[in-house]
Amino acid sequence: MLKEWIKAIILLPFNVLIVIPALILYFNGYKYSFNGFLTSFIGISLLICGMTLAIYTMLLFNKFGKGTAAPWAPPKHLVIKGPYKYVRNPMITAVLSILIAESLLLNSIEIFYWFIVFWVINMIYFPLVEEKQLKARFKEEYLEYIKHVPRWIPRLTPWEKEIYKQHSSC
């Protein structure tokens, strides 16, 4: 399983967050310029939040899902714990936060454009591909989950599956 995790991290977030931004900066002749303390503070805050969320969601996939976020080693169990009680795609939220942080910290509009491209790709990919695969794999459990937990904008309160079942039997 460790080999699958390393492969997933290198091929997915490492490329999205490190390789592609580095290539963007390189091919645009990037020269660093300080963007101010407030912008830096916001960037550092988003970076810390994004990294924390990314690590936490990957650990949840490993511990409870018994898999990775990668399509070649998907979770065997639907993960509805932690941030997944609020929003269906917290890993993407983490990556988007890190990309915005990179854009702010490096004062790079080009990385911000990459953030937009990545977001649009995922807004198309999730409903057309990933959600169909999850419905096929987890059936009714996933259908119930998507009725209560939004794709992108988090709920204000966590969805508790057991509470829902208790109230629906009344």
Q: Check which CATH number belongs to the domain holding 101 and give it.
A: 1.20.120.1630
Mean pLDDT in residue range 17-31: 95
Provide the number of structural domains found in the chain: 1
Structural domain including 146 reads 2-168
* Residues sharing a CB contact under 8 Å with residue 116, sequence separation 6 or more, in sequence order: none
pLDDT of residue 1: 65
What pTM was estimated for this model as a whole? 0.88
How far from chain centre, in Å, is Cα 81?
A: 15
- pLDDT per residue as tens digits for the range 77-103: 999 999 999 999 999 999 999 999 999
